[in-house]
Amino acid sequence: MRTVYAYVLVSLDGFHAAPDGGLDWFTTDDELERYSAAQGDAIDTIVMGRRTFELMASYWPTPEAYRDDPVVAGFMNDLPKVVPSRTLSAHPWGPTEFVADDVVGRLRALKEQPGKDVAVFGSSTLVASLLPTGVLDELRVVVQPVVLGAGRRFLDGAGGTTLERLSVRAFPAGSTLLTFRPVPAAG
């Protein structure tokens, strides 16, 4: 069975995006860049919420993205994407499947198919909705050494999910990767 994991960067005070939706506050270093790029070898499907999809679609297919990070641009552009959305049904950034209903069912079906892992990138609202369903096998959170003070709060609405810490990894520029496994509810 394939692993479905979420990979999200958050500020130290728990925000996934700045008040204007901007993501230019992320810090990085060569080691974190290598970690992020290596994910492309372990996955064959990307899942993103609509807002994240539109943001990524505005950058990754550009010549600038290929100049800045050809490895990540390659897998972001080439791998199939699944986008839960009730407002989008088509987009030129492909290959993309839009799912209007039963997102959890679609992800469970993906888990049963042969293949590599499935990554949910960003998409804090989507991750919050998926976390209590049991469809996520891992939550990988890169805590950035920055305080935003406001913005889109990470995991709003997830409620009632217990997590087991699997690992902690520090990066030279101050980011820390926390990897968790959701613990199924007793009963």
Tens-digit pLDDT profile for residues 85-113: 999 988 999 899 999 999 999 999 999 99
Domains annotated for the chain, with CATH where assigned, are: 29-183 (3.40.430.10)
Give residue 115's pLDDT: 96
Report pTM: 0.92
Question: How far is Cα 166 from Cα 182, in angstroms, rounded to an integer?
Answer: 10
Share of the chain above pLDDT 90, in %: 77
- How many Å is the Cα radius of gyration of the chain? 16
Give residue 167's pLDDT: 98
Q: Are 10 and 144 in contact (CB under 8 A)?
A: yes
Question: How far is Cα 89 from Cα 148, in angstroms, rounded to an integer?
Answer: 33
Tens-digit pLDDT profile for residues 115-165: 999 999 988 889 999 998 999 999 999 999 999 999 989 988 887 789 999
